[in-house]
Structure 1
Amino acid sequence: MEAFEPMKDSKYRIYISAVDKALKNFEYTSEWADLIAALGKLNKVLLSNTKYPDIPRRIKIGKRLAQCMHPALPSGVHLKALETYDTIFKSMGTDRLSLELFIYSAGLFPLLGHAAMNIRPILLTLYETHFVPLRERLRPALSGFLSGVLPGLETGSDYFDR
């Protein structure tokens, strides 16, 4: 089986251009509603190209998503960013996620401690769906994962048993 060479695929090059255009929208945001719109455009581009497990501009995407997880931003921005993370993780699959976990964990791991109540179950579902299946491949990021998850779980809360 031949290895995928992205730059030889014209549709992948179009995908890269679309990601660049979607990322450009983040540069012109001045309020949280603009962030939700920019995330929506990025998510649309990613959803229309899920056949490619290799996400273009993944470092920049990871940084933008981490910025959208800032505690001062409303839960609507966090929700839209979590949808984008989910789209990326579904597209790339478990094997690639284990290799690129460092790119996306910076935004996700600190979120649970300050997340709104409606965001917590969505974040925990994201962890259960994409991170727990990594099993031993989560080990390099385990300390960050635990320090992000444990403070957000209170004894007796709805999420504690999860």
Structure 2
Amino acid sequence: MNTEELELLSDSKYRNYVAAIDKALKNFEYSSEWADLISALGKLNKVLQNNAKYQVVPKKLTIGKRLAQCLHPALPGGVHRKALETYEIIFKIIGPKRLAKDLFLYSSGLFPLLANAAMSVKPTLLSLYEIYYLPLGKTLKPGLQGLLTGILPGLEEGSEYYERTNMLLEKVAAAVDQSAFYSALWGSLLTSPAVRLPGITYVLAHLNRKLSMEDQLYIIGSDIELMKQ
């Protein structure tokens, strides 16, 4: 529990909020079917929305864990969509500074989703990245490799979301700076075989053949040792 949350505990309404979150989280423990998870997420969403004036979300570690569990690839798209609603509610409440601080907490569930998501889920997930992640700019850098590994599966030739994914990647590159972007991209390709084809496709599509390599050194990235691998 951080200092900000400790200070808020002097507010009786915030303490009631904490208790309501605890109660909502209990519903996940008793969920045995996917419909139960949708119901549990709905109750959690209601508590969050009713207390949106508080930018500090209590029990965020447990919430992050439960949301990640609800994005398990074995679960149906309906559960995924409901969980993404919860993410959006939280992101609206906490704002960009807190999201940047808790990036790993919320991203651990989101980043693996696109590769396994139903077609009905993909636009919602991409919207979360576009609306809430892009504005984080350079504060994305600590989680950049994970983000790229999460986005690249959408760069499938001929897919409905190819152009949108490509544009998102371009905007991420502009937000964090090209050299940092490509360093993270090569890191993704090295550690995640599943994204190598879309990753190389992206690099080749953005390599200007009219320019010398010296004029595009940012494509090599800033980690020369990584490139040697």
CA apart distance, 1:157: 2.1
Q: Quick one: which of 84, 106, 109 aligns to 2:108?
A: 106
Alignment of 1:4-153 (within 5 A): 5-153=7-155
CA apart distance, 1:140: 0.3
Task: Decide which moves more: 152-161 or 125-134.
Answer: 152-161
Q: Which has the higher helix share?
A: 2
Matched residue SS, 1:8 = coil
Unaligned stretches of 5+ residues in structure 1: none
Q: Which has the larger radius of gyration?
A: 2
Task: Pick 1 or 2: higher relative contact order, CA cutoff 8 A, min separation 6.
Answer: 1
Question: 1: distance between equivalents of 2:114 and 2:29?
Answer: 26
Question: 1: distance between equivalents of 2:27 and 2:21?
Answer: 10
Question: 1: distance between equivalents of 2:88 and 2:103?
Answer: 13
- What value does the CA root-mean-square deviation take over the aligned residues? 1.1
Question: 2: distance between equivalents of 1:155 and 1:52?
Answer: 43
TM-score (norm: length of structure 1): 0.96
Matched residue SS, 1:39 = helix
Q: Which amino acid aligns with 1:88?
A: I
TM-score (norm: length of structure 2): 0.68
Q: Which amino acid aligns with 2:21?
A: V
Question: 1: distance between equivalents of 2:32 and 2:159?
Answer: 36
Question: 2: distance between equivalents of 1:54 and 1:128?
Answer: 23
Unaligned stretches of 5+ residues in structure 2: 165-229
Moved over 6 A (4+): none
| Counterpart for residue 160 of structure 1 | 162
Question: 1: distance between equivalents of 2:154 and 2:59?
Answer: 31
Q: Which amino acid aligns with 2:139?
A: R
Identity %: 63
Question: 1: distance between equivalents of 2:110 and 2:155?
Answer: 15
